[in-house]
Amino acid sequence: VSVTLRFELNGALRTVDVEASASLLEVLREQCGLTGTKYGCGLGECGACTVHLDGRPVLACLTPVLQAGDARVTTIEGIGGDGLTRLQAALVRHGALQCGFCTPGLVMTATALLADLPRPTEAQVRQRLVGNVCRCTGYTKIVEAILDAAGARGA
């Protein structure tokens, strides 16, 4: 059943005809062409599809698309302007990514984390990352990069 959905996507108003039973992930990737948001498990267990819904990190694969109606959706494509954000630059500088497949979701989670807790502790960072699985890095450099971006002690 197709319905017309209006929402704010990365700062611009969008109107999209969607299947009412679709997930936000399907609509973002297949209809909006925003492939920075990844499919990693489809069950909400890896965080690769993390986006912001009204500023809060959520899992696009488990978000019923109708619940994004009239809401503000931000994807990795909506983070930063021309250059990298402080967080993104820190992730690059610290070598906090390898295959990079989990990275967009991680950026979304960590961006929200720094908005909530501008000076997090290492334990808080690890706690907030519990929904973002990375198989490459062992998280050490990710945590260092986030603390560095927060202006806390780098490691």
Partner 1 sequence: VPDAPLRIVGRPTPLLESPAKVTGQAVYTHDVVRPGMLYARILRSPHPHAAIRGIDTKAAARAPGVAAVVTAADTPKVRYIYLGGPFSDRYPLALDRVRFVGEPVAAVAADTAEAAEAAVALVRVDYEVLPALLTPEAAMAPGAVAIHPSEQCLGGPNVALRSERRYGDLEAGLRAAAHVFEHRFRYPAVLSCPMETNAAVCDVFDGVLHVWTPTQVPQFVQKELAHVLDLPLERIRVREVAVGGGFGARSKVCEQEAIAALLALKTGRPVKLVYTREEEFEATKPRHAKDITLRTGVDAEGRIVARHARSIVDNGAYTHMGPGVMGYGGLVAAAVYRTPNVTFEGRLVYTNKHPGGQYRGFGAAQMLFAIESQMDIMAEALGVDPLELRLRNATRPGDVTACGWKITSCGLAECLRRAASAIDWERKRRAPGPNRGVGLAAVVHVSGANVYAYGDFSEAVVEVQADGRVRVVTGSADAGTGSNTLLAMIAAETLAVPLEAVSVLSMDTRDAPPELGAWASRFTMTGGNATRLAAEQAREELVRAGADLLEAAARDVRLGDGRVFVAGSPERGLAFREIVRAHGPIHAHARYDTPTDALGPSGYGNISAAYSFAAHAAEVEVDPDTGRVRVVRYVAAHDVGRALNPLAVEGQIQGGVAMGLGAALQETMSYEGGRPVQRSFLDYRIPLATDLPPIEVILVEPGDPGGPFGGKSVGEPGLVAAPPAIANAVAHATGIRFTELPITPDRVVAALRARDGGLPRGADPRVHPALWRVAGVRALYPSVVFPLLRDVGARWARRPRRPERVETERPATLAELGRALAAADGRSRPMGGGTDLLAGMRQGIYHPERVVDLSAVPELGEIAEEPDRLRLGAGVRLARLLERPEIRSRLPSLYEAVTHIATPQVRNMATLGGNLCQQKRCWFFRGGFLCYKAGGWTCPCYAVLGDNRQHAVVDADRCAAVGPSDLATVLAALDATVWTWGPRRERWVPIERFYRGPGEPDLAPGEIVRAVEIPWPEPRTVALYEKVAPREGDFATVSAAVTLRVQGLVVEQARIVLGGVAARPHRAAAAERVLAGAPLDAATGARAAAGVLEQALPLAGNAYKIDVARRLVARLLGRAAARAEAVRR
Binds partner 1 (CB under 8 A): choice among 9, 46, 114, 149: 46
64 belongs to the binding site for partner 1 (CB under 8 A)? yes
150 belongs to the binding site for partner 1 (CB under 8 A)? no
Q: How far is the CB of 13 from partner 1 (least distance, A)?
A: 20
Compare residues 8 and 77 and give the one whose CB is closer to partner 1: 77
Binds partner 1 (CB under 8 A): choice among 6, 17, 95, 117: 95
124 belongs to the binding site for partner 1 (CB under 8 A)? no
Size of the site for partner 1 (CB under 8 A): 79
39 belongs to the binding site for partner 1 (CB under 8 A)? yes
How far apart are the C-alpha atoms of 15 and 4, rounded to whole Å? 7
**Per-residue H/E/C for the chain:** CEEEEEEEECCEEEEEEEECCCEHHHHHHHHCCCCCCCCCCCCCCCCCCEEEECCEEEEHHHCEHHHHCCCEEECHHHCCCCCCCHHHHHHHHCCCCCCCCCHHHHHHHHHHHHHHCCCCCHHHHHHHHHHCCCCCCCCHHHHHHHHHHCCCCCC
How far apart are the C-alpha atoms of 66 and 32, rounded to whole Å? 15
86 belongs to the binding site for partner 1 (CB under 8 A)? no
16 belongs to the binding site for partner 1 (CB under 8 A)? no
5 belongs to the binding site for partner 1 (CB under 8 A)? no
149 belongs to the binding site for partner 1 (CB under 8 A)? no
Say which residue the tokens 């690890």 belong to.
126
40 belongs to the binding site for partner 1 (CB under 8 A)? yes
1 belongs to the binding site for partner 1 (CB under 8 A)? yes
10 belongs to the binding site for partner 1 (CB under 8 A)? no
